[in-house]
Amino acid sequence: MAVITISRQFGAGGATVANLLADHLHIDIIDQSLIAEVARRAALEPADVEAEDERPTTLLDRLALSFSPLAAGFGIAWEPPYPDPTFDPRREVLVLTQDVIREAAKTGNVVIVGRGGAHVLRDDARAFHVFLHADAQFRSRIVMERERIDRAAADRRVHEMDANRAAYVHQVYGRDWNDVRLYHLAIDTGRIGFDGAAALIERGLLARGGGEPGAGGQQEVRPGA
């Protein structure tokens, strides 16, 4: 039985490592399937949920929401995007995302990729929290190959996605996403590789012995260590 959360820098191989773990341990993956489930529960399009995924709420978003009940006064041409003018899709997506993560963890047989899983399940004694990172050059190469874009575009994607994920975790959970003390295991996939990362996570699960992050259970894994 395993409940694993994978937090990851963009391009560090979160989905790849999760798939390897699922194959080896015969457990389920909560990644893109989470978006579909949240969309179903919120009666939103999956594309709308994905647009809110691991992104912080901006000041303009909050202002637009705060003024939405007044917008009807501008005439019949205005149509609210949702039946309830006070409906906050970001808040709904966040709450449903947390619900789905907690429900998945109850099965005791799952790997959860991103979406603040390590923070949602921070008090779950069964959960094993992992952070995958690598240098920006390595991650840009991965993104170039995966998305078929040039180096400049890949560099921008890496920077923007990392900034979004860090801001999301800070805004929602008040935590520093890059703080390795929040995780049982931090792995440099650029040096260890994806197969090596999956193997180390499996070893970590066996060696954990009930340790919690921040209480002697966290390990930083690098070559030669």
Specify the number of domains making up the chain: 1
CATH number at residue 114: 3.40.50.300
Among the listed ranges 4-13, 55-64, 67-76, 114-123, which one has the minimum average pLDDT value? 67-76
Structural domain that includes position 213: 2-72+85-221
Residue 79 domain flag:
no
What is the rounded CA–CA span in Å between residue 10 and residue 151? Answer: 15
Residue 78 domain flag:
no
CB 116 within 8 A of CB 164: no
Model pTM score:
0.74
Among the listed ranges 61-75, 143-157, 168-182, 202-216, which one has the minimum average pLDDT value? 61-75
pLDDT in tens, 119-160: 999 999 889 999 999 999 999 999 999 999 999 999 999 999
